Structure 1
Amino acid sequence: MTATVHPRHRRDPARHLVLWGLVVLAAVMLVPFAIIVLNALKSPAEYAASGPLSVPDEVYTQGIVDFWQRVDFGVKLLNSLVISGSVAVLAVVVSVLNAYALGIGRIRGRLWVLTLFLIANTLPQEALVYPLYHLFKQVGLYDTRLGVVIVFTIVQAAFGTYLLSSTLSGFPREVLEAARVDGANRWQVLVRIVVPISRPTLGVLLVFFFIWTWNEFLIPLVLLISDENQTVPVALGVLQGQRSMDATTTSASALLGVLPAVVFFLLFQRTLTRGMTVGAIR
C-alpha cells in the first residue's frame, strides 16, 4: 500500500525556496541602509582610516548633531510631516468622494472622467512646474505650504479616484439597496456603509500617499524657496549641492531623511498588510 502525499507537503520545498529568496532580497535591500547607519555613527577620522564598511569603535553622534543644527532639521521635519499628513488625509477624502460618485453614483460621462484622471496622474512633474509657478505667483500661494498641499492633494487624488472607482463599481448592490430601503440617504450610505467596508483599502492609500508626498522633491524645490518652508528632501538636496559636508555628515543627513518615512511605514505596516490581504481575498 503506497502512502499518499498531501498536496501541501508537495508544495513545501517551493514555499521554502520562495521564502529564502525573499529573505535574500530583503537582506540585499537592507545592506545600503545598514552602511548608512554605520557611517552616520562614525567619526570622519575613523571613516578615513577604516573605510565605509568598518564597524565604528565607538558611537559618534556629532555628525547627526551638526547636520541637525546646520539645516534646522526640526523645522524641515515639521514641514514635511504637516504637508505629507495633510495631503494623505485630504487626498483620501477627495478620492472617496470622487470614486463614490463615479463608481456607485454612475454619473454621466464616467469613462471620460476616469480617462481625465488617468491622464492627470501620468503627467510628468516637469510639465507642471512652469504653470504652477506662474499660477501661484498670481494667487499668492507661492512659497507657502498650503500651495504644495493643494498641488499634491490633486495629484494623489487623481490616482486614488482611478483606483477606488474601479473598486467601488463592484460594491454589492444588495447592501446599497438594503440601506436605501431602511431610509438612508446617499451621504449616510457613504459614511456608514461604503467607508467602513472600504477602510482597509483607504488605509493602504493613506500610507502610500504619505510616503509618496514625503519623497517629493522637484515641485517643493521650485515652490518653497524660503528656508522656513522647505521640506526634508529639499533641505537635503540643497545642502548636498553645496558640497559642504564630509562623508559621516552626509550619511547622517541620509539617515535622518529616510528614518521618519521608515518609522511611519512600520507603524502602519499592519494596516498596509490588512488592506492588501482583504484586496486579495476579494
Structure 2
Amino acid sequence: MSQLLSEATFANETAQPSARELKKLSRRGQGGFNRRNGFSWGVLGFIVLAALLWIAPLYLAFVNSIKSKADYTTSGPLSLPTSITFENITAFWAKANFTEKLWNSFQISFWVAIFGVLLSFLTAYAIGIGKVRGRFFVLALFMVAFTIPAEALMYPLLKMAKMVNLYDNIWSLIIIFSVLQSAFGTYLLASVLSDFPTEILEAARIDGAGSVRLLWSVVLPLTRPTLLVLMVFFFIWTWNEFLYPLVLLPSNSSQTVSLSMGLASGQYTSEPTQQAAAALVGILPTLLFFLIFQRTLLKGVTMGSVK
C-alpha cells in the first residue's frame, strides 16, 4: 500500500511542471500573443492609413465646396468652414449646365452596361459552352484587345466616327465602349462558363431544351450575379472615362460629367471653391451608385467561391 502511495506521489510530482517551467511557458505564450498582436496592429494601421489617404481628397472637396471665397482666402484649404454656404455648388451647376452633363453620362454608362454585358455573355457562351475550336486563341485575342492602350485606338476610332456621322454623338461612345468593355467581359465569363456543370446542361438537353432555351433558362439564371457585377463595373468605368469623350464629344451639349470636371478649371470657373464643388458633385453619383449596388458586388464575388 505504501509502495502504491509513493508511486502515485511520484507520478503527480513528475506530471506537474515546475515553477521555472511554468514561467518559461507563460513567457513563450505571451511572446507569441504579442507577435500576433503586433502583426494585427500593423495590418490595422495600414488599413487606417489607406482609408485616410482615400478619404483626404473627399474631405478637401467637401470642406472647400461649402466655404465662401473669403473664408478660403483667410483660413486656407485644410481648415473647417466658419460658415456653410452652397453657393459654390449652385454656381458651378448653373455655369456648367450640370443636369445635362449628368443625363449624358447616365445614358452612355447605362447603355454600355446593358450592351457590353449582353455582348460579353453571348460571346462567352459560344466560347465556354459551345466549345468553339481554338477558343484559347480567341480568348488570348480578347485579352490582347483589352490591354491595347486607348491612345493607340484613338485616331482610327475618331476617323470611323466621322465616316459614319457619329462624331459629336453620344452613340459613338456607346458603341465603342460596349465593344471595348466586352473584351474583358468575354474573357471573364468564358473562364466561368468553361467550368459550368455539365450535368445540368445534359439534364436540360434530355428534357428537350434547345440552345436558346438552354442559354436563357439554365445558364443565365445561374450566372446572373456575375453578370450584375460586370454591369456595375462597366457602368462605373464608363462614367469615369475622360479621354474618349474629350476627343469624340467636343460640343458643350454632349459633354459628360468627367469632362465638365476636367474643364472646371478655366472654361467654367477659376475659383478654387467652385472647382472643389465641381469635384464633389462629379464624384457623388459614382459613390451613390456603388453604395446602392454594394450587396450585388459582394454577392457576385462570393458566388464564385462557393459551389
Specify the code of the residue in structure 2 equivalent to 1:81.
F
From the CA coordinates, give the structure whose radius of gyration is larger: 2
Specify the code of the residue in structure 2 equivalent to 1:280.
S
SS at match of 1:60: coil
Q: Deviations over 1:188-225 (max 9, x none)?
A: 11111211111111111111111100111111111111
Structure 1 Cα separation of the partners of residues 198 and 272 of structure 2? 60
Match of 1:277 in 2: 302
Shift of 1:104: 0.6
Match of 1:99 in 2: 124
The answer as to 2:287 corresponding to 1:262 is: yes
Shift of 1:19: 4.8
For residues 1-282 of structure 1, what are the structure 2 equivalents within 5 Å?
13=37, 18-19=43-44, 21-242=46-267, 244-282=269-307
For structure 2, list consecutive stretches of 5 or more residues without a partner in the other structure: 1-15, 18-28
SS at match of 2:305: helix
Specify the code of the residue in structure 2 equivalent to 1:224.
L
Moved more, 201-210 or 240-249: 240-249
Match of 2:24 in 1: none
Q: Deviations over 1:103-151 (max 9, x none)?
A: 0101122122212211111111111111111111111111111111000
Structure 2 Cα separation of the partners of residues 22 and 195 of structure 1? 37
Specify the code of the residue in structure 2 equivalent to 1:201.
T
Higher relative contact order (CA 8 A, sep 6+): 1
Structure 1 Cα separation of the partners of residues 56 and 261 of structure 2? 21
For structure 1, list consecutive stretches of 5 or more residues without a partner in the other structure: none
Specify the code of the residue in structure 1 equivalent to 2:237.
W
Structure 2 Cα separation of the partners of residues 220 and 146 of structure 1? 11
Structure 1 Cα separation of the partners of residues 202 and 44 of structure 2? 44
Specify the code of the residue in structure 2 equivalent to 1:121.
F
Structure 2 Cα separation of the partners of residues 186 and 267 of structure 1? 35
Shift of 1:15: 5.9
SS at match of 1:107: coil
Structure 1 Cα separation of the partners of residues 232 and 264 of structure 2? 28
Alpha carbons of structure 1 residues 241 and 124: separation in structure 2 relative to 1, 3 Å:
farther
Moved more, 146-155 or 180-189: 180-189
Structure 2 Cα separation of the partners of residues 197 and 168 of structure 1? 10
Structure 2 Cα separation of the partners of residues 49 and 10 of structure 1? 48
SS at match of 2:81: coil
Structure 1 Cα separation of the partners of residues 164 and 277 of structure 2? 38
Alpha carbons of structure 1 residues 171 and 236: separation in structure 2 relative to 1, 3 Å:
same
SS at match of 1:281: coil
Number of residues paired by the alignment? 278
Structure 2 Cα separation of the partners of residues 196 and 243 of structure 1? 47
Specify the code of the residue in structure 2 equivalent to 1:132.
L
Q: TM-score, normalised by structure 1?
A: 0.92
Alpha carbons of structure 1 residues 15 and 185: separation in structure 2 relative to 1, 3 Å:
farther
Structure 2 Cα separation of the partners of residues 275 and 255 of structure 1? 29
Shift of 1:238: 2.5
Structure 1 Cα separation of the partners of residues 267 and 297 of structure 2? 38
Shift of 1:27: 2.9
